[in-house]
């Protein structure tokens, strides 16, 4: 199966400018690029789709160029937005760009020569207004620019000249990479089709003979219509400090039966036969969640590595069994990140009854007594039924945490 057929099987091609010619061109190694605007200090799960597609093309023998928009990031892309972006300072954009470079390097490995990283600030920041208007602006009519969806959707609410010009800046990126890096194709999400094809237009009008190509991928949504890459806490980030490896694992493990096979196609490097076998498991034995476990494992290894996977699986098993005493301090920080936390004022021994009230586990001493007497209170997974029980240093995991559970699922983390 060639790369185009593989992408089609996985449902990853939304639009392509000239499929027949592109198939022929991809018979030889081709340089292609995708842009990432530095609007945060981390990429997120939504960005991962295009990164994985770049990796697929790379494995097929082609050369990815990752372009971080240190220049365009100062402007803001109107695509897919109903309001103007808040403009960041140059220092913030530069810091974000450096963070994204480090993240992208994990996947594409720039140092081995099989991928290239560039920051479009290298050519955009030195571009004068007169040069821009003469060398880029004169090739585009207002009618052409106004016909693009990214502009059309903003006309009623209003779009500034700043964001209106973004399309031309991105077109100049493509031209610059075409001329200096022999880059023949730009890839991106389907909301980028207008910007990418504007680049093709500029390359053509500048008189270049070798054909350039555009390819876009669908914007992923869940089967229930909700936006992919979000959770109750917000975006799912690639940065382990923002989304822990355990949270990342759980995000994929919690994929619905209606979504999991598509996610396996989109995001993993499993073969067609492997995916089809898991699809049968979903249909015949959905309760075993074999496909979800495979998806969570593959995605955690891809983004965080084998050790992080082992840790995430260990946390999941401990929480499922209730045997939380086996967790390390670091695993507790991951697994109980969103659990109510009480910061104990000291490490002195404390009566369990009093601590339950102070930590908000029970609303009163009376309620605390009832909970203890009824066997509803667990400390580090062990039931405590003694009304005179005292918590000591032996009840602290890594001398820092005690995990209190009331009933089956209500956890409170005591941090010392």
Binding-site annotation: residue ranges for ATP: 230
Digit-coded pLDDT (tens) for 325-355: 999 999 999 999 889 999 998 888 989 999 9
Look at residue 80 in the predicted model and tell me its pLDDT. 58
* pLDDT of res. 149: 77
Show the domain range for 72. Answer: 3-217
Contact at 8 Å (CB) between 3 and 29? no
Domain shared by 99 and 162, yes or no: yes
Statement: the pTM of the whole predicted model exceeds 0.85: yes
CATH of the domain at 252: 1.10.240.10
* Res 310 pLDDT > 70: yes
* Residues 235 and 213 reside in one and the same domain: no
d(CA 358, CA 343) in angstroms, rounded, equals 10
Rounded Cα distance, 33 and 293, in Å: 32
Average of per-residue pLDDT across 147-153: 78
Query: Which CATH number do you get for residue 43?
Result: 3.40.50.620
Q: How many domains does the chain have?
A: 3
What is the per-residue pLDDT across 75-108, written as a single tens digit (0 to 9) for each? 776 665 556 667 788 899 999 999 999 999 999 9
User: Quick one: 306 and 347 in the same domain?
Assistant: no
Residue 327 covered by a domain: no
- Work out the mean pLDDT of the chain and round it to a whole number: 92
**Binding site as annotated, residues for L-tyrosine:** 33, 166, 170
Name the most confidently modeled range: 137-141, 227-231, 378-382.
Answer: 378-382
**Percent of all residues in the chain with a pLDDT value above 90, rounded to a whole number:** 77
Q: Do residue 134 and residue 97 come from a single domain? A: yes
* Annotation: binding site: 33, 166, 170, 230
Higher pLDDT, 357 or 145: 357
* 326 falls within a domain: no
Candidate from 43-47, 228-232, 295-299, 308-312 with smallest mean pLDDT: 228-232
Average pLDDT score over residue span 198-213: 93
161-184 confidence digits (pLDDT tens): 888 888 899 999 999 999 999 999
Q: For residue 385, what is the domain's CATH number?
A: 3.10.290.10
CA distance 92 to 96: 6
Question: 119 and 264 in one domain?
Answer: no
Query: Are 192 and 68 in the same domain?
Result: yes
The answer to whether residues 168 and 269 belong to one domain is no
My answer on whether 248 and 314 are in the same domain is: yes
pLDDT of 232: 63
Q: Are residues 58 and 190 in the same domain?
A: yes
Both 144 and 171 in one domain: the answer is yes
Q: Is it the case that residue 299 has pLDDT exceeding 90?
A: yes
Q: Are 148 and 198 spatial neighbours (Cβ–Cβ below 8 Å)?
A: yes
Structure tokens at 99: 């963070």
The tokens of 211 are what?
A: 């054909």
Mean pLDDT of 145-154: 79
* Same domain as 75, residue 176: yes
User: Are 51 and 177 found together in one domain?
Assistant: yes
Q: Is 153 exposed, middle or buried (0-12, 13-18, 19+ CB in 10 A)?
A: middle
Decide which of 217, 252, 279 is a domain's last residue. 217
């Amino acid at each position: 199966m060639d790369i185009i057929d593989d992408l089609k099987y996985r449902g990853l091609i939304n639009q392509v400018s000239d499929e027949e010619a592109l198939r022929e061109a991809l018979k030889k190694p081709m340089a292609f690029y995708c842009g990432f605007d530095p609007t945060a200090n981390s990429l997120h799960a939504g960005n991962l789709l295009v990164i994985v597609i770049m990796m697929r093309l790379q494995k097929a023998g082609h050369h990815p160029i990752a372009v971080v928009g240190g220049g365009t990031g100062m402007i803001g892309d109107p695509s897919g937005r109903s309001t103007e972006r808040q403009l960041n300072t140059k220092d913030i954009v530069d810091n974000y760009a450096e963070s994204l470079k480090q993240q992208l390097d994990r996947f594409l490995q720039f140092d081995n020569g099989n991928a290239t990283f560039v920051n479009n600030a290298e050519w955009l920041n030195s571009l004068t207004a007169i040069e821009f208007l003469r060398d880029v602006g004169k090739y585009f009519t207002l009618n052409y620019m106004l016909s693009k969806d990214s502009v059309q959707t903003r006309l009623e609410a209003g779009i500034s000249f700043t964001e209106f010009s973004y399309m031309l800046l991105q077109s100049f990126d493509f031209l610059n990479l075409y001329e200096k890096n022999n880059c023949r194709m730009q890839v991106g999400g389907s909301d980028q089709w207008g910007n990418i094809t504007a680049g093709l237009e500029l390359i053509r009008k500048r008189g270049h003979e070798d054909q350039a190509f555009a390819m876009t991928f669908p914007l992923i949504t869940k089967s229930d219509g909700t936006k992919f890459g979000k959770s109750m806490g917000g975006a799912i980030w690639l940065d382990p400090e923002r989304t822990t490896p355990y949270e990342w694992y759980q995000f994929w493990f919690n994929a619905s039966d209606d979504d999991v096979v598509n996610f396996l196609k989109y995001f993993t490097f499993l073969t067609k036969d492997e995916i089809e076998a898991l699809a049968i498991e979903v249909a015949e034995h959905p309760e075993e969640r074999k496909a979800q476990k495979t998806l969570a494992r593959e995605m955690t290894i891809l983004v965080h590595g084998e050790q992080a996977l082992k840790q995430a699986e260990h946390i999941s098993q401990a929480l499922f069994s209730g045997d939380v005493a086996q967790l390390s301090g670091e695993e507790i920080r991951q697994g109980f990140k969103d659990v109510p936390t009480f910061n104990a004022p000291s490490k002195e021994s404390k009566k369990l009854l009093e601590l339950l009230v102070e930590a908000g586990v029970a609303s009163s001493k009376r309620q605390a007594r009832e909970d203890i007497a009824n066997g509803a209170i667990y400390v580090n997974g062990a039931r405590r039924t003694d009304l005179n029980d005292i918590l000591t240093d032996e009840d602290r995991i890594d001398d820092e945490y005690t995990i209190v559970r009331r009933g089956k699922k209500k956890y409170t983390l005591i941090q010392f």
